[in-house]
Structure formats: C-alpha cells, structure tokens
Amino acid sequence: MTELELARRAAAAQAVKLIRDGYTVGLGSGATMALAVREIAALLKGKSNDVCFVPTSHQIELVALSLGLKLVSLSEHPELDLSLDSADEVDDALNLVKGGGAAMTREKIVASASKRFVVIVDEHKRVRKLRRPVPIEVLPFAYPAVKRRVEVEGGRATIREGEGKVGPVITDNGNFVIDADFGVIENPAELEELFDSIPGILESGLFVNMADEVYVGKLDGTVELVRRMS
C-alpha cells in the first residue's frame, strides 16, 4: 500500500466511527471508498447491529456485498443518516470536484438525501481553488450539443474514453461522461448553475456547499478534520 493509500485509509478509519447502530449510510464510489467499506466491515465485525447501506455504483455494491454488509435502496430509505464519499479535489470552502469514477450523479443524489455528508481524502486533494476538469454526465443524444455549449462558454470538452474497451465510458445510468475543463474555478456555484442550465446534462461533478466535514489523511499518519463554516 502506498503512502497516499495509507493516508486515505487512516482518514477512512476515523470517518467510519461516525456510524451508529440503526443508521442507514450512503456509500460513494471509487478506490478510497473501497478502503472505507473495508474499514466499515472491520468496525462492525462481530457486533450486533442494524446498520444498512445504500451504494452509489455497481463497483461499491460488489465490494460491500463481498464483505457481508446489508444493502438497501433509496426506495426503502429515502432519507439517510449519513453519507461517506471521497473527492478528486476539495477547496478551502469544502466545495468538491467529484466524478473520477463516473458515479457523480448517484453520489450527489445520495449525498443530498443525507442528514450528514462526510468526505474522505488525502492531503494532496486539498487545494485553495478547484482546478480539475469537471465531469458531467450527459445523455448520449445530447452529447454534440452539450460539447458545443461547453466550448462556447469557454471550456474544453473531452468525452471520456474507456480503458480496456473501445469507445466512451458508460455510466451506471447508461450515459456518457464529458470532462469539462474551465481551468481554475473562481466561482464554483456560478459554474454549477451553468451546467444546470444546459439541456442534456444530467448532473455535474461539482458539489457546492454540500460537504459537512472532510477527513484529510496526512502522509505523516495524522488525520485532520475540517468542518464547513456555517
């Protein structure tokens, strides 16, 4: 395990301690969340509990099932006690860029349905201002029009290609992913509003004013807890 993986694991180990008996917990996607799910399984092992989980992708669903976690759906639990997720970048105001694993739409739905949204990252993901390309989930029919609109608005739009397959990445919802590069994002809320205004975009990977707390794993083994200012 690399130093960064160990840092993320340390942060995950702290964050999962927020889980209480009877909770329904949303699970984000990606490599960091796979680590977190393993920490959850270790935390709950041998204990009598009634904790259940809502996964946001097939990837994390399979990991959770392999570890014996109880899975439920939003249909059964439309309000969650807690959601845990990772991020590709976190700025000083705890705005996020997410979607490296192309699950940002389901992740945002689950996070917004939760009473408390907690994020797990390593220290390299903390930045003063967001600057990564923002993943956006796009209906295949709308792809040409959305690409043109993003470029008219000053961004660079790149359809995400699959690794180990020919053609574009297909989300769990059956859609395309465009990575929209606007450089340094001076106003995340304004950019999110732009994405929301473009027909054909299902959701973006900008999570503005959503994270309540971020657990930051450091390379020295410590974990920093950062809370969003009210």
Catalytic residues: 107
HSE value, Cβ hemisphere, 13 Å, CA-based, for 114: 29
Residue 120's closest CA among 138, 94, 144, 143?
94
Contact (Cβ atoms closer than 8 angstroms) between residue 28 and residue 96: no
Contact (Cβ atoms closer than 8 angstroms) between residue 137 and residue 126: no
Q: For 211, phi and psi rounded to 5 degrees? A: -70, 130
Q: Which two tokens stand for residue 158?
A: 């790149």
Report the alpha-carbon distance of residue 168 to residue 119 in Å, rounded: 28
Q: In the 3-class helix/strand/coil scheme, how is 81-139 assigned residue by residue?
A: CEEEEECCEECCCCCEECCCCCCHHHHHHHHHCECCEEEEEEHHHECCCCCCCEEEEEC
